[in-house]
Every structure is written in structure tokens, then in C-alpha cells.
Amino acid sequence: GRVSQDGTRVSDPELGKALDECDFILHGSGASFVAHRDIAAAVLRTGKPYGIWGITWSGGDEAQLRLMDQAKFIFFRDTVSLEAAKAAGVRAPIMEFGPDGAFACDLRNDAAAEAFLSAHGLETGKFACVIPRYRVTPYWKIRNKPMSEKNREDWALSQSMKEHDNGPIRRAIIETVRQTDLKILICPEDKSQVELGREMLYEPLPDDVKQRVVWRDRYWITDEAISTYVRSAGLFGLEMHSPIMCIGNGVPAIVCRFHQQTSKGFMWRDIGLGEWLFNMDEESEIPGITPAVLEMLTRREESLAKVAKAQEFVRARQTRMGEALAEALSRIR
């Protein structure tokens, strides 16, 4: 639902009731202070306190900055964003690192995952998951909408960079198959990555490799994805939230990021997994991807120890976020 910018109208009665009955307004994780206009309108309507959990942030207009000043707390999901907010002069009373909400995702669909794995000869612990990505997600394509001029520019960029970005991931697949006994599952995080995975990762593979690689030819949703990830030996690729959900559920994961994804990828460094973070905009880092993938997948005990240490840090920060919310609520009552 929506609240009008002057705070006087709501789009449906349920939203109005929720705003009337709540004690506190909480903004969740996002690529920025995504719902700042909605928060401003809701606060104008109710006068109620609010806080922000687990966002990336790179800047905003004066109205957004002042709205952030008045938040009871702001937790940023990467310290690059935290430092950007400080440099911009944001002065909320609590400004700290706080993990993306996806670390806590525990959705499962074990039956669907097991059926798919069984049908494709993938055994628990004996395969790795791999995710491709375009530089800019083609939402116009996903939503079957006409391309805007900006969409055309973004699509041209994505096409020009798709071998640069996905080629190193394909090479890591090849070496994983040739140097280990693991199979590979090429899978998507968004709908556009189904076909991209076939084009850039699966079809170009040598025949000796392809026979141990499965391309998932349809999209899935979060519950089946997590139930699949937890049965894998690990995950690598160009996405962010699947690795987050992997670490949250005890599965090793490597993140390869680039500028168009915002600074969120640097959270891997913040949670102690800098060795599993690669910047595709830095040519010197790209050759390190395959060795890191092989090490992550073959040194199982060491990898699980890294995951456990990252989980411990994430959970401590989640506890801190909960404490900040509890403190804010205690001042209301």
C-alpha cells in the first residue's frame, strides 16, 4: 500500500489500520534507503518513530539526509555505505554495520529440491552451485515491458561485458569438474539468468566437462533455492543474495561483484570473508577466482570453519540490531 506524500490518505484501509496500531516503523534491507518517501509520508501521518536495518547507501537529497538524521538507528549492510553516510553528514544517534536481512532467511522446500536433484543425478555434498549475471538486471525483459532508452544503454553494456564477467566463472566450472569429483549446477537468482546460464556458462563448455554439469532450465523461488544450496558443497558466481543465504545457512560461498551492483559486495570483507570476494572491475583480481573456488570446495573443513566464524559475527550484529530496536521500543512504552 501507499501513503500520500502529504500523509492524509492511504491506499487501503488495512495499511491505515496498521499505521494507527503500530508503535514503530522499521525499514528493511535494500539497495538504498529505498522507501524513504514512504517513511516520510508515514511519519508525517503518524508522528511515530522509525529505524533502518541493513541498507546500502551512496547518497541522497537534503530531505533524505534529514529523514535519516531523525531515525532512531541506521544499520548499513556494508561499511562503505556507513562511511558514505558519515561523510555526507548524517547524524542518526546509532549508525553501525548491520547485516542484510537475507542472512536470516530460513525458508525451505526440501521435497522440491530433492526431487530436482534426484532427477538430475546430483547427490548431497557432491555438487557446487553457480550463478551467472548481467551487469544490469534487465527488469524490462523479466516484466515483459518495452525497452526505454536507459534500458537500451544498460542492455548494450551488459552484452559488451557478459564474456568479461561470466567467462571467468565458466573457467572455474571447467577446472572444478576436471580437478575434483564434484558436479556443477548452473542456477538462477533472477529470471533473466536462466537463459544467460545456458548461453554463457553451459553451452560453451567442452564436452568432457558438460557431461557433469546440469543447467537448470527454469526459475525457482527462495525456498527451493535454499533447500538446494544447503545440499551443495558450496556456491560461486556473480550474485549477492544467494551467497548471503548460503552463509546464513552454513554453506561456503564466493562473491564476484562489480560497480553496477552497488557497494553491497564489500559486506563479504566486513564479515571476514574477504578471501572469497573478487572485484570484477579489477583485472588483477580475476585470475584468483578459480584457485579460490578450488580451495573452497576441496578444503572442506577450513571452508566450514570460515563460514562458522562469519556466522558468529553476523549473529552478534543481528543481536545488536535487535537490542537497538528493543531500546527504541522501550522508550515508547
pLDDT band at residue 233, thresholds of 50, 70 and 90? very high
pLDDT band at residue 331, thresholds of 50, 70 and 90? very high
Show the cell assigned to 203: 553451452
Distance CA 261, CA 240 (A): 9
What's 39's DSSP letter?
H
**Largest separation between any pair of C-alpha atoms in the chain:** 66
Do 76 and 54 form a contact (C-beta atoms < 8 A)?
Answer: yes
CA distances for 302 relative to 103, 125, 252, 256, 295, angstroms: 21, 15, 10, 20, 9
Do 288 and 268 form a contact (C-beta atoms < 8 A)?
Answer: no
Distance CA 146, CA 164 (A): 27
Distance CA 48, CA 24 (A): 6
45-100 confidence digits (pLDDT tens): 999 999 999 999 999 999 999 999 999 999 999 999 999 999 999 999 999 999 99
Q: Express as a percent the part of the chain with pLDDT over 90.
A: 99
Beta bridge partners of 201: none
Nearest to 325 by CA among 59, 96, 63: 96
The whole-number average pLDDT for the span 19-31 is: 96
Residue 1 confidence (pLDDT): 85
Distance CA 13, CA 67 (A): 26
Residue 197 confidence (pLDDT): 99
Mean pLDDT score of the chain, rounded to an integer?
A: 97
Q: What domains sit in the chain, N to C, each tagged with a CATH number? A: 13-98 (no CATH), 104-313 (3.40.50.2000)
Q: Express as a percent the part of the chain with pLDDT over 70.
A: 100
Q: Could you tell me if residue 201 is left (phi over 0), alpha (psi between -120 and 50 degrees) or otherwise beta?
A: alpha
Q: Model pTM?
A: 0.95
Residue 333: is its pLDDT beyond 80? Answer: no
Residue 99 confidence (pLDDT): 97
147-178 confidence digits (pLDDT tens): 999 999 999 999 999 999 999 999 999 999 99
Among 1-15, 47-61, 284-298, 308-322, name the one with the lowest average pLDDT.
1-15
